[in-house]
Amino acid sequence: MFSIPHRRDFLRTAGGGIGAMALQSLLTRESSAEEGLGSSQGTHHPPRAKRMIWLFMHGGPSQVDLFDPKPDLLRFAGKPLPDSFGEVMTRRKVARNPLLAPIKPFRPRGQSGLEVSDFLPHIAEHADDLCVIRSLHGDSVNHPQSVYQMNTGSILMGHPSVGSWLAYGLGSDNQDMPAFVVLPDPGGGLKGGPAAWGSGYLPATYQGTTMRAGKAPVLNLQPQDGISDAQQRSTLDFLRKMNERHWMARDRDDELSARIDAYELAFRMQAAAPEVVDLTDETAETISLYGIDDPVTRDFGERCLLARRMVERGVRFVQVYSGNTNGWDAHSNVAKNHGEYCAKTDKPVAALLKDLKRSGLLEDTLVVWCGEFGRMPMSEQGKGRDHNPWGYCGWIAGAGIRGGRAHGETDAIGLRAANDRVHVNEFHATLLHLMGLDHRKLTFLHNGLDERLTGPSEVDVVQELIS
């Protein structure tokens, strides 16, 4: 007579013993996504990357202490910023403070000789895979504005984030999982809040879904206490009957059937999400590679591994945050702060690169590492550094990016981006390009404007980064 698609799946996966069966349906779904069913709009050109993992170092990691060696900064340490650098806008009026030497030595790494600081010995082993951008720059010395800009292209609140644009443009490869997942730092307190992964004026469907390790990776994933599988199954049967009748009497309206489907998806997610975050099927070698067996690296290691598991299962974009409300914000003591955060993240990040590489995923997975800005070459409170949006580092790897090199340069002391400058909007245009999207064409009509990630000004893809 009539049938609502996947009705049998719905019954099958609704109750007990769902794990295995849901996984089955998950795999079936994935294979159909391969045939192009998963995309809502599709790419503008063949993509270099099918998925992206963005490691976001919240607070602002110091470029001159990690990826941008500045011998002159060592030479002039203790002296004030030469007048030739002109006026510098800073958050905490540090422009006249003495310069602070790089905290740890830099060394050439790998075959390429790309220099990386001793702060990051593990990531340094992958130097040949990294394309470090030394000339990123943004527009605000404040955290929230810069967090917004790095995520949404605008320093103002309310614009869709990169992940939302990707979900909007590309849809999900796995109907059982959200297209855009955020793994926040369990310490919480991102400056600027969840607006950083909000969908802005795009429909709510495209907002980032926050997931976490453990039993409840998604809010409301499991029934409340006292509601057993058997109760739930019978309740859902009844609900389905009600909804089918309602739907039949209303011309089999698409929106109504989409909601009926959403209940199935919810159910598959109920099975799929715990499976994604369940690390018991990972080998001891992998667990140790990510540093999950070490209290220092456990948390970030777990989340890096989750990121790999998610992209494996078709999640389009995973953003992993490092840093609670202060995070990498090393105002008073770079050695102490970065010592702590590098120790937490260095091994896991290196493990992620290694793991993606050996499984072949790195070929079409783009890995991004950066913060909302970098830090000043001048000191603050003696051993710390203030925010620096005028010139800082990030790196990209995977997706066929030529590694072992640095793109762009800051000035002699790492204060401002000087050569081959890459503005955040240009950076975004390039990321979209790698994902097969043209930032000029990926638009959404809002209040009379065709809005886009890269904002109203004309910007171009940075060709040197992708060549």
Partner 1 sequence: MIVSLSSLRPLVLLTMLGSCLVGIVDAQEAYEEIPIDKVDRGHWAYQPITEPRVPSVKDVRWPQSNIDRFILNKIEQTELTPAARADRLTLIRRAYFDLIGLPPTPEQLNTFVADERPDAFRRVVDQLLASPQYGRRWGQYWLDLARFAETDGFEHDKVRPTAWRYRDWVIDALSADMPYDEFVTMQLAGDIVRPDDADAQVATSFCLSGPDMPDINSMEERKHVLMNEVTSTVGSVLLSLQVGCAQCHDHKFDPISQADFYRLRAFFEGSVKLSRNQSITTLAHGADRDAEAKFYVRGDYRRPADVLSPAFPRIANTAGRMLGAEHAGEERSQLASWITDGDNPLTARSIVNRVWQFHFGTGLVATPSDFGIVGEEPTHPELLDFLAARLMSGDWSLKRLHREILLSATYQTQSRPDASVAEDEQESRSSWSRRLRFDPENRLLSRFPRRRLDAESIRDAMFAASETLNHEAGGRGVMPPLPQEMVQTLLKGQWKASEVTADHYRRSIYIFARRNLRYPLFATFDRPAANCSCAVRHPSTTPIQSLLLLNSKITLDASHRLAARVIEEVDEDQQRAVATFSRVLSRYPTREEIDDTVSFLEDQRRILATEGHKDVHRAAITNLARALFNSNAFLYVD
Residues 434-463 that bind partner 1 (CB under 8 A): 445, 447-449, 456
Residues in the chain: 467
Q: Which is nearer to partner 1, 193 or 404 (CB)?
A: 193
| Token pair for 399 | 């997706």
Residue 241 is a binding residue for partner 1 (CB under 8 A) = yes
Residues of 375-388 as b/e, b for ≥16 C-beta within 10 angstroms? bbbbbbeebbbbbb
Which CB, 105 or 239, lies closer to partner 1? 239
Out of 57, 100, 130, 265, which residue is the one contacting partner 1 (CB under 8 A)?
265
Q: Which is nearer to partner 1, 91 or 354 (CB)?
A: 91
The identity of residue 150, as a single letter, is: M
| Window of 102-110, 235-243, 277-285, 291-299 that interacts with partner 1 by CB under 8 A | 235-243
* Residue whose CB is less far from partner 1, 27 or 89: 89
DSSP symbol at 34: I
**C-alpha dihedral over 156, 162, 163, 168, to 10 degrees?**
100
Which of 8, 96, 259, 336 binds partner 1 (CB under 8 A)? It is 259
**Residue 177: phi, psi to the nearest 5?**
-130, 150
Out of 8, 96, 250, 358, name the contact with partner 1 by CB under 8 A.
250
Tokens of 112: 């390429």
Minimum CB–partner distance for residue 87 and partner 1 (Å): 12
Query: Is residue 97 a contact partner of residue 370, using CB atoms and an 8 Å limit?
Result: no
| CA-based end-to-end distance of the chain | 56
Distances (CA, A) of 453 to 168, 178, 181, 297: 11, 20, 18, 34
Q: Which of 151, 270, 319, 388 binds partner 1 (CB under 8 A)?
A: 270
Region of 65-73, 251-259, 288-296, 406-414 interacting with partner 1 (CB under 8 A)? 251-259
Query: What 8-state DSSP symbol labels residue 40?
Result: S
Nearest CB to partner 1, comparing residues 266 and 412: 266
Closer CB to partner 1, 37 or 262, in the complex? 262
Q: How many CB atoms lie within 10 A of CB 18?
A: 21
Tokens of 403: 């590694």
Residues 306-345 that bind partner 1 (CB under 8 A): 325
Find the binder of partner 1 among 28, 40, 41, 231 (CB under 8 A).
Answer: 231
Check the CA dihedral 60-66-69-72 and report its sign: positive
Q: Which residue has 């079936």 as its token pair? A: 28
448: which 2 tokens? 């009379």
| 218/274 Cα distance (integer angstroms) | 9
Quick note: the x/- pattern for partner 1 over 127-166, rule CB under 8 A, is --------------xxxxx----------xxx--------
Considering only the stretches 72-80, 252-260, 291-299, 425-433, report the one whose residues sit in contact with partner 1 under the rule CB under 8 A.
Answer: 252-260
* Stretch 174-213: interaction string toward partner 1, x if CB under 8 A: ----x-----x-x-xx-xxxxx--x-xx-xxx-x-xx-x-
